[in-house]
Amino acid sequence: MPHRQIIGSSSGHLHRLWTFVEQNPAWILRTEIPMPGLSRLKLVGLFGAAIALTACGGGGSGAGVATVPPPPPPPPPPPPPPPGPPPIPDGSIGLQSNLPFVVVSAGGQSDYSPERWPVGPTKLSADDVQFAYSAADGLYTISIPDFETGRLVTLGGNGSYDESGWINFTGTYNTVTKGDSGELQDLRVTLTWPEFDDNLTYSSLGSWSGYTKDAEGNDIMSRGVFAYGIPTLAGEIPVTGSAGYAGQVRGVSSDHYDIYGTVDLSFNFASGALSGVMNPSVSDGWDLHPLGEYRFRDTVYSAGSTTFTGKFDVPGSTDDSWFGGYFTGPQASELIASFKAPYINPFSQLWGTITGVWAADKK
């Protein structure tokens, strides 16, 4: 039973306070106000049980004061964006020379169908890639098949960097103007930074990729590699002794893979003999897959000549192959060359073609 207690009626009104102390205790204040001509108006107010128990000091029911949970903490601020690439280091983006460069190149075009991908080297002609430097204004001009000759406009750098700057700067990527205008072509040219390769001083490497349209308006992709250098003058070629050269291979395949590797050449300057071997590898984007030894055969080199040519013994194939190049730098200190040869794709086991360039220095 609830406990009932009359609190008082000094005002002429009857006040009763019933205090419930059972499972759901509450205060109920009941006021009866006599009013003439009207029935009694009963006002009932319900007050929180927890307040009643707290005020009375009683209760062992375990009821507590309801609280609103605090709002969740705000989310942490987003991490700062990674640093942008640093500015290009001071210096020329390529080799500098008062003499015209010698250039070799290899590449082709494709509408993304392997059978539409003709590849082949320059074969020592000036009909494909041409690359020139102007000492007057410090600008480079390039000519690539199916594109307009134009000036290089540097867009940025290649390599790794952190917030403190470049860790390893390998070169620049550039676009090309249409002639002397400011209009740009859909063409990108990369140049190896002259100081990147400690072994090469008078020779360097580059690559290109771009798009043109065919007669129906379809995109045609063009890509390839080139090597250029400061030529060795005819009177500076050694005519006695011998020398070995070691270099790097860069190229493309008829099924759109990148080609890397090494090359070793041995010249007898007195007798006019040349021997050597190329060790190309195909890249799947992550790993390199060696293609075996491509040993030189049918080489042509005459004592005092600034050029050389030859073919390969290709593992498992008797198809035609070719390489040819130039000496660069004083006393034939370096060389560049282009090549073309059959290869067997290690992924599909189908035969295709690899083509590319070399840049090598004297050991």
Please say if the pLDDT value at position 232 is more than 90: yes
SS3 253: strand
> Percentage of the chain surpassing pLDDT 70?
77
- Residue environment code for 173-199, b if the CB has 16+ CB neighbours within 10 A, otherwise e: bbbbbeeeeeeebebbbbbbbbebbee
What would the pLDDT profile of 161-170 be if each residue is shown by its tens digit?
998 899 999 9
Q: 324 lies in a domain? A: yes
**Neighbouring residues of 51: CB distance < 8 A, sequence distance ≥ 6:** 27
DSSP-assigned letters across all residues of 185-239: EEEEEEEE-TTT-TT-SSEEEEEEEEEEE-TTS-EEEEEEEEEEE-BPPGGGS--
Q: Decide if 285 is inside a domain.
A: yes
Residue 10 lies in a domain: no
Give yes or no for residue 233 having a pLDDT over 90.
Answer: yes
- CA-nearest of 151, 299, 302, 325 to 239 is 302
Classify residue 5: in a domain, yes or no. Answer: no
Q: Is residue 349 part of a domain?
A: yes
Question: What is the length of the chain?
Answer: 363
Q: Band of the pLDDT at 118, cuts 50, 70, 90?
A: low
Residue 63 predicted with pLDDT over 60: no
The CATH number of whichever domain residue 325 belongs to comes to 2.40.160.90
Would residue 7 count as lying in a domain? Answer: no
In a domain, 86, yes or no: no
What is the spatial distance between Cα 29 and Cα 113, in angstroms, rounded to a whole number?
A: 92
Out of 59-63, 80-84, 228-232, 297-301, least confident range: 59-63
- Taking alpha carbons only, the member of 158, 128, 140 closest to residue 222 is 128
* pLDDT the model gives residue 127: 52
The answer to whether 158 and 206 have CB atoms below 8 angstroms apart is no
Look at residues 26, 64, 70 and name the one whose alpha carbon lies nearest to residue 48. Answer: 26
* Assigned token pair, 3: 């406990």
The residues with which 348 forms a beta bridge, in sequence order, are none
Mean pLDDT along residues 182-200: 94
The pLDDT-based confidence of 43 (bands split at 50, 70, 90) is: very low
SS3 state at 56: helix
Give the count of domains, the chain: 1
Q: Flag whether pLDDT at 253 surpasses 80.
A: yes
User: Mean pLDDT throughout 133-160?
Assistant: 95
* DSSP summary character for residue 147: S
Does 12 score more than 50 pLDDT?
A: no
Residue-range definition of the domain harbouring residue 256: 102-362
Cα distance between the two ends of the chain: 111
Residues 6 or more apart from 24 whose CB is under 8 A from it?
A: 49
The H or E element spanning position 254 is none
- pLDDT value at position 310? 98
What pLDDT was estimated at residue 117?
58
The CA distances from residue 188 to 41, 98, 116, 194, 304, in Å, are 93, 25, 21, 19, 38
Give me the amino acid identity at 203: S
For residue 151, give the H/E element and its range. strand 150-162
Q: Which of 68-72, 242-246, 320-324, 328-332 has the lowest mean pLDDT?
A: 68-72
pTM of the model: 0.76
- Asked whether residue 231 carries a pLDDT value surpassing 80, the answer given is yes
DSSP 8-state symbol, 78 = P
Lowest-pLDDT range, 13-27, 140-154, 253-267, 325-339?
A: 13-27
Do the domain assignments include residue 351?
yes
